[in-house]
């Protein structure tokens, strides 16, 4: 069958593009290689307990905030969203001392100023920058907006240098950066815009979803189908066929072909190019450019099933570090786990946690020796490696959950290899391609490719995370519809 648009991959970006285009009357088809849609939104069940794959919490979902408007557009606000503690949605623990993040720019600054009174003015300057970036986000989706000029200028500035210039206390610098395991804290590359935009959204408001990220994926699929779109699982694309300088069809692993006028790829750009075996449009120099782009680090995740009634539910995330210097996390070294994100899964009664997730950065060199293996067949050395890392993460988590050892019923773990194999993400990168303020023109990709009817979407473009991917979806669809049509119905409150 022939479609207007064929979309490769059913991660958040792919499903959102399908929704936007189907809403405007285009006949879309989403092709997903796995039996379940959603990419890193997926949930999975082990021993009767449900865990999240990569989705843990979102920011800016309150009335009048950016993600609220975006999720209203995608009909996702009716899902069972649960707000984190307004006075302490995140806790950063460094050297045995805890510091709390509050929602609201002023509330955030005032709360930290209680422990850092000599930094009150610097905290004010810090949140003023975050607010400026956060307020400008909605303008970037307006036709002929000048917001792009502003955001691009911040893509050329160092996040780390900005912090050093703004906050003079090294401990406070670590604290305000300490919740940033949701990005790669790389002092040599991280652009200020990425740091500011992501932190700004969570300081506005922080939310969890009862039931996990799969609810988002399933709701988008339901809406796409109601609007006449098609979503196919177990339909992995093995080749994209070019004809007369344009893509003509996608061949799936069953041997069937899907024809379309446009193709959108929600998988890694390097994996996308690998699907184009022969092309008059994709030159070797472009393939090398994309293939040589560096990826962010991956994540080691420990999913912990807890015995009933043993660990009280905590309505915030906890970031636990052995020591400070959190900006060294991007520097690979063979060392004990330096820090973790501890995330409680929101339950209906919110009294006791049934499970928690522990996440810590993991670098490709740590798992590269098993790169040619498959899930479930990586050998005893790999399993021993995961057990050691699991024990290190549990030891850090025990700093804030003293009875954790007795409370653990079962643990399950995954590495960047797991993400690579399930999501076709190069090196299992947690945040896609590494953005580099030293070379933004090279590392910030646009939706366009050398093939005129092939577009990219997802976390490898400008920003990662739920908010960043959602923004990129509109930018991608604007290449087909124009920005005014793509954002028709998206309304930000003043």
**Torsion on CA atoms 128, 134, 138, 139, rounded to nearest 10:** 40
Give pLDDT, residue 149: 47
In the block, residue with structure tokens 């400070």? 324
Give pLDDT, residue 414: 93
Give pLDDT, residue 348: 57
First to last CA, the chain: 44
Q: What is the distance between the alpha carbons of residues 472 and 461, in angstroms, rounded to a whole number?
A: 7
For the chain, list residues with pLDDT below 50: 146-147, 149-150
Compute how many other C-beta atoms are within 10 angstroms of the C-beta atom of residue 56.
Answer: 19
Give pLDDT, residue 329: 79
Answer for the pair 204, 62: CB distance below 8 angstroms, yes or no: yes
Instruction: Report pTM.
Output: 0.94
Q: How far is CA 411 from the centre of its chain?
A: 23
Q: What is the pLDDT of residues 67-89, one digit of tens each?
A: 999 999 999 999 999 999 999 99
3-state SS class at 175: helix
Structure-block tokens of residue 335: 């060392």
Structure-block tokens of residue 112: 């930290």
Residue spans of alpha helices (H) in 284-342: 284-292
Radius of gyration of the chain (CA): 22
- Domains of the chain plus CATH, in order, are 2-59+212-294+431-486 (3.50.50.60), 87-204 (no CATH), 297-430 (no CATH)
**Torsion on CA atoms 393, 333, 459, 273, rounded to nearest 10:** -130
Q: What is the distance between the alpha carbons of residues 22 and 174, in angstroms, rounded to a whole number?
A: 44
Residue 25 vs residues 28, 219, 433: alpha-carbon distances, Å: 9, 19, 32
The torsion angles phi and psi of 47, rounded to 5 degrees, stand at: 55, 35
């Amino acid at each position: 069958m022939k479609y207007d648009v064929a979309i490769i991959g059913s991660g958040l970006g792919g499903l959102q593009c399908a929704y936007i285009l189907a809403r405007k009357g285009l006949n879309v088809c989403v092709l997903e290689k796995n039996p379940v849609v959603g990419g890193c939104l997926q949930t999975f069940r082990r021993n009767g307990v449900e865990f999240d794959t990569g989705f843990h919490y979102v920011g800016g979902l309150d009335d009048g905030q950016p993600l609220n408007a975006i999720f209203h557009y995608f009909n996702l606000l009716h899902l069972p969203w649960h707000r984190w503690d307004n006075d302490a949605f995140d806790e950063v623990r460094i050297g045995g001392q805890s510091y709390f993040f509050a929602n609201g720019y002023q509330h955030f600054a005032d709360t930290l100023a209680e422990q850092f009174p000599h930094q009150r003015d610097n905290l004010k300057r810090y949140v003023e920058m975050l607010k400026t970036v956060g307020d400008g986000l909605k303008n970037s989706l307006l036709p002929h907006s000048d917001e792009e000029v502003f955001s691009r200028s911040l893509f050329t500035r160092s996040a780390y240098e900005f912090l050093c210039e703004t906050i003079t206390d090294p401990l406070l610098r670590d604290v305000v950066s300490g919740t940033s395991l949701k990005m790669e804290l790389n002092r040599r590359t991280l652009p200020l815009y990425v740091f500011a935009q992501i932190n700004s959204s969570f300081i506005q408001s922080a939310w969890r979803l009862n039931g996990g990220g799969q609810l988002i994926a399933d709701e988008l699929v339901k809406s796409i189908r109601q609007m006449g779109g098609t979503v196919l699982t177990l339909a992995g694309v093995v080749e994209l066929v070019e004809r007369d300088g344009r893509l003509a069809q996608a061949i799936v692993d069953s041997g069937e072909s899907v024809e379309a006028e446009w193709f959108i790829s929600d998988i890694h750009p390097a994996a996308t190019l690998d699907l184009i075996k022969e092309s008059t449009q994709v030159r070797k120099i472009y393939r090398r450019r994309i293939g040589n782009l560096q990826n962010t680090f991956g994540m080691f995740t420990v999913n912990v099933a807890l015995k009933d009634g043993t660990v009280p539910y905590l309505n915030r995330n906890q970031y636990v570090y052995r020591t400070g210097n959190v900006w060294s996390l991007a520097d690979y070294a063979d060392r004990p786990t330096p820090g973790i994100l501890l995330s409680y899964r929101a339950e209906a009664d919110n009294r006791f946690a049934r499970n928690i997730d522990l996440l810590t950065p993991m670098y490709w060199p740590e798992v590269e020796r098993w790169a040619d293996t498959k899930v479930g067949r990586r050998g005893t050395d790999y399993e021993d490696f995961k057990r050691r890392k699991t024990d290190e993460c549990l030891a850090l988590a025990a700093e804030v959950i003293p009875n954790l050892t007795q409370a653990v019923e079962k643990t399950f773990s995954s590495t960047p290899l797991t993400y690579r194999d399930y999501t076709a993400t190069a090196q299992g990168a947690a945040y896609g391609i590494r953005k580099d303020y030293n070379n933004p023109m090279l590392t910030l990709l646009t939706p366009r490719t050398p093939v005129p009817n092939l577009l990219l979407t997802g976390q490898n473009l400008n920003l990662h995370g739920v908010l960043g991917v959602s923004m990129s979806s509109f930018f991608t669809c604007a290449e087909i519809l124009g920005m005014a049509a793509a954002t028709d119905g998206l309304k930000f409150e003043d």
